[in-house]
Amino acid sequence: MHKEELLELHEQMVTIMEYFRSREDVDGSIFAPYDGLDVDPSHVHKSKSEHKHAVFVLGNALATAMSDDEFSNAGRLSKRMEELADDAESKL
């Protein structure tokens, strides 16, 4: 995936995150790990690896927001996103 495509994906995922943050039934603290990264889609000067890591961390949070439990499809996706985020972080 090219960096421009990754930035677009990142931006779309942030839009989804904002939707979930606006819902009263979703604990906004699940997005704290993403917020702590300080990597925003508008930060085009950040490396592709940093954005890739941010996308996986955000993907994990979004899957958690959608999951009923760890065994649901979204719960399993959350676990996989966590693994991918850890892998991406190790390559920073």
Supply the CATH number for residue 61's domain: 1.20.1270.110
Residue 75 located in a structural domain: yes
Residues 59 and 61: their CA atoms lie apart, in Å, by 5
Residue 71 located in a structural domain: yes
The total domain count for the chain is 1
pLDDT of 92 higher than 60 = yes
Residue 67 located in a structural domain: yes
Question: For residue 71, what pLDDT is reported?
Answer: 54
pLDDT, tens digit, for every residue of 27-85? 989 999 999 999 999 999 999 999 999 999 999 999 888 876 555 677 678 888 888 89
Question: For residue 45, what pLDDT is reported?
Answer: 95
Residue 30 located in a structural domain: no
Question: Rounded mean pLDDT of 17-30?
Answer: 92
Centroid of chain to Cα 13 = 7
Tokens 């760890």 belong to: 70
**Residues in contact with 47: Cβ distance below 8 Å, sequence separation at least 6, in sequence order:** 92
- pTM value is 0.80
Domain with 63, as residue range(s), is 3-24+35-90
Residue 29 located in a structural domain: no
